[in-house]
Amino acid sequence: MQACLPPHRQAAEPVRVKRVGVTPFPTAVPYSEGRVRAGESPDWTGEVVRVNREYIETRALTRFAFLEQLDGLKRVLTRKPWTTTIDYLGPETGIEVALDWRDRTVDMLLVRLQRGRLPEGYYVSEGRKCRVYLSEALTEHFGLSRAELRAMAPKGMKRPKPSDDAETAHFEEVMVHYEGILRRFARRLLDAGTSIFE
């Protein structure tokens, strides 16, 4: 850059540009010794939202604990900087609760296991589809319409404006929604096995 400037400008200090209206991405909150702390999670727009990850994880573990009673599903908790996943694994398939800190929402998926373990790929692994969203499984394999799925959702489930309380309430509301659906359909989804991924 210095070589591109005229000689009388080469020794000058670098120009500092102030970015207006853009929140820089913070450093991801570290996970140490398996503990999760409240931290900052920027969404795709760079907007910083503070959520108490430990509280939300605890609520999710409580809400979906009933899944461990279905055929002795084994719970696996995985923490990454942008997401926490809670997987309930059976012999061939599993149910995955994904707490997405960046998008500030909860995703619910069905997972095809590889030799009893989580697949290496996200949507495709070993050349086969390995994850399907719960809504897709219910509409394509159980005949539910999108309108029926929407009717199961609590009112006011739209993503709120960023604030600690609103975000935490939103996570809780989406988890309540998915808990209700899984209490109705989890057994049938697990009984369907890998056919859901075909």
Summarised one tens digit per residue, pLDDT across range 144-184 is: 888 887 777 655 455 555 555 778 888 998 999 899 999 99
Rounded to whole angstroms, the Cα distance separating 107 from 179 reads 12
CA 51 to chain centre: 14
What burial class does residue 4 get, using C-beta atoms within 10 Å of its C-beta: 0-12 exposed, 13-18 middle, 19+ buried? exposed
Looking at the chain, list the stretches that DSSP marks H as alpha helix, in order from N- to C-terminal side: 53-63, 134-141, 146-152, 164-192
Contacts of 164 (CB under 8 A, 6+ apart): 50, 51, 52
pLDDT at 25: 30
* pTM (two decimals): 0.71
Rounded to whole angstroms, the Cα distance separating 30 from 161 reads 26
Residue 131: enclosing H or E segment and its boundaries? strand 131-133
Task: Identify the CA nearest to 54 among candidates 105, 109, 99.
Answer: 99
The domain segmentation of the chain, as residue ranges, is 38-197
Residue-wise pLDDT for 2-43, tens only, equals 454 444 444 444 444 333 333 333 333 333 333 334 444 444
Structure-model confidence comparison of residues 24 and 141, the more confident one: 141
Q: Match 């994904």 to its residue by tokens.
A: 98
Structure-model confidence comparison of residues 165 and 134, the more confident one: 134
